[in-house]
Chains A and B, each alone.
Chain A
Amino acid sequence: MRSFVQALIRRKIALAGALVLLVILALALFAPLIAPHDPMGLDPTVRLQGPTARHWFGTDHFGRDIFSRVVYGARLTMVCGLGVVLYSVCLGILIGMLSGYFRHVGFVAMRLIDVVMSFPPLLLALALLAILGAGLSNVILAVGVTYLTRTARIIFGLTLKIKEEAFVEATRSIGSSSLRILARHILPNLLSPVIVQATFTSAFSLLNMAALDFLGVGVPPQIPSWRNMISEGRVYITRAPGVLLFPGFFIVLTVLSFNLVGDVLRDKLDPRFRDQFSGVRR
């Protein structure tokens, strides 16, 4: 941990990324304290205004304060990012480890993963949402499937390698059960690549979820999110470009920060697996 902090400080741009993520987390946690206006509060007298002293980022087509909506939008971004990471990483580790350790499970699981990976992520998510219906948890589920298979693939490869190592052989020879070997000896060795994978998953899942919201099949529009602010406001971009610029800027900032931190983490934790992460991206 200490060496990671040192690496962050050495790469100033990545440090900036980490700080941005902390600020966005703070926005999400303390939204009611930070937002100057009610994010849902309509005021038809101030529709589509540019930035003013009262409305820092201007107002949208219902006269709602864009800054307050951006602050509240951070909540949804964090919940979505965290949701996809938790679900895809946990299941990915489980499937990947079992497939790598037990050969027959691995054969079947990897064929299935091949099939899932032959569908472009956004199309797969669209098809799943057509079946499941819209809604926050369904969006997380649909977007996470892609990253689940990717994590499982990487963990599968690493487990195959680690289970041949001498220390695993030694543990097996003193009679440890498979469960014990997996949990106590293989899992701890997988943690660093998993952390790296989680950072990139956050970045790319946010982009995919943004696309789904934009297409109108994502999170319901009444919840303020950066993505549907852009989607709703795009008709008015000529009159008030703020509805497009500010929420979009925050999406770019968040994704960029995850990428920057991810790069440092990868270089620090796992130079060996560099290629595996820089390859498949979206």
Chain B
Amino acid sequence: MLKYMLKRLLSMIPTFLLASILVFSFMHLMPGDPAGVMLGDSATPEQVQVLREAMGFDRPLYVQFLRWFGGMLQGDLGNSIFFHKPVLRVIRDRAEVSLFIACLSMALIVLIGIPIGMVSAIRYNSVADQTFSAASMLAASMPTFWLGLNLMLIFSVVLGWLPSSGFPSVVESGNLANLKYLVLPCVTLAAPNSALIIRLTRASMLDVLREGYVTTARAKGLSELGVTLKHVFRNSLITVISVVGFTFVGLASGTVVTETVFSLPGIGRLVVESVLRRDYPMIQGVILIVAVAYMLINLLIDYGYTFLDPRIRIT
């Protein structure tokens, strides 16, 4: 068990190294001189030269990479060109909203998606199943920003129930009521992603329901609820857990759009602003952090598998 876990951890190293090289090359792939692009058309050649030397762009590529990589391992991702502050500090300042949105949406997705998926599978082909299937198909086909704008129009503008934009910090003010600013963003983000979980839970439970051991459990007189919870749900959990990984990708992409729609000061909006401002160190930093987070989540998911299904450890 420990050997498997260690092996899996070590297998992350090459992926991480390649990902860092890829992220690093982003800055150097663009046409022209990075310093020139950062300063814009109005910069004088002297200004460009000063920035080149300050950023170390005049050194050979591998030296630049090693310096950047070494700094990164010590938690230094460089300085943002726009904010004139360390990239990591800017990300930390913006992390609160994004973390709240991610956790609350994930909770919504799991709480809505898994039960509905289970009901759909157990009541296969019933009216309920068909209604849920149609609804989840529709939710998966909606652009996030369109859904968000519509919810904003209905619940903020017409009904006036919820605030439409912004987010006063919960941590600084200690006021949990501020979370109401996140209701619409979280629903917007959860809707298309729950659709995915509903479909996957339903599909994996249907597969398990056809297994021989389920028939055996029924034949020995176990109640339907007992069969469902003890045999079917537990065995379909493997697929469902892997969905958490996909959902993370969905959330990371979704927050970029949702934070822009609802004008929230989070990491997603930071990426868009940095792209529009061409703040390359910032883009590099955020993307690398998101990729590392995704790798770590996948690692945890793989560990989760081994606890649920011992066969995976052996193979």
Contacts and interface: CB of A to CB of B under 8 A. Distances in A.
Contacts of A119: 19, 287, 290-291, 294
Contact of A115 (B19, B150, B280): B19
A208 B252 CA distance: 13
B55 interface: no
A133 to B, nearest CB: 9
Interface string A112-152: 10111011111110110111100000000000000000000
Contacts of A127: 26, 275, 283, 287
Contact of B142 (A123, A241, A252): A252
A114 B15 contact: yes
Nearest to B18: A115
Given A123-B252, A282-B249, A118 B294 contact: yes
Contacts of B295: 118
Interface stretch (B92-100, B196-204, B210-218): B196-204
Given A119-B287, A126-B275, A252-B142, A278 B249 contact: no
Contacts of B275: 126-127, 129-130, 217
B146 interface: yes
B224 to A, nearest CB: 26
B253 interface: yes
Interface stretch (B45-53, B106-114, B133-141, B171-179): B133-141
A211 B256 contact: yes
B203 to A, nearest CB: 6
A237 interface: yes
Interface residues of B, number: 51
Contacts of B286: 123
Interface residues of A, number: 50
B92 to A, nearest CB: 18
Contacts of A126: 256, 271-272, 275, 283
B143 interface: yes
B245 to A, nearest CB: 10
A244 B271 contact: no
Given A256-B138, A259-B140, A282 B250 contact: yes
B61 interface: no
Nearest to B272: A215
A211 B298 CA distance: 26
Contacts of A118: 15, 19, 291, 294-295, 298
Contact of A241 (B19, B153, B246, B252): B153
Contacts of A230: 145-146, 149
Contacts of B271: 123, 126
A215 B270 CA distance: 12
A211 B30 contact: no
Nearest to B243: A279
B257 interface: yes
Interface in B204-262: 242, 246, 249-250, 252-253, 256-257, 260
A114 B142 CA distance: 28
B14 A111 contact: yes
B143 A211 contact: yes
B157 interface: yes
B127 interface: no
Given A210-B145, A278-B203, A123 B253 contact: yes
Nearest to B294: A118
A35 interface: no
A56 to B, nearest CB: 20
B154 to A, nearest CB: 10
A130 B153 contact: no
Nearest to B256: A122
Contact of B137 (A260, A279, A282): A260
A137 B249 CA distance: 25
A120 B295 CA distance: 11
Contacts of A268: none
B276 interface: yes
Nearest to A216: B276
A255 interface: yes
A281 interface: yes
A238 interface: yes
Interface of B: 14-15, 18-19, 22, 26, 29-30, 137-138, 140-146, 149-150, 152-153, 157, 192, 196, 199-200, 203, 242, 246, 249-250, 252-253, 256-257, 260, 271-272, 274-276, 278, 280, 283, 286-287, 290-291, 294-295, 298
Given A123-B253, A130-B278, A248-B149, 6 more contacts: A119-B294, A130-B26, A237-B152, A244-B146, A252-B142, A279-B246
Interface of A: 111-112, 114-116, 118-124, 126-127, 129-132, 203, 207-208, 210-211, 214-217, 227, 230-231, 234, 237-238, 241, 244-245, 248, 251-252, 255-256, 259-260, 274-275, 278-282
7 contacts: A126-B272, A210-B143, A210-B145, A211-B144, A248-B149, A252-B142, A281-B196
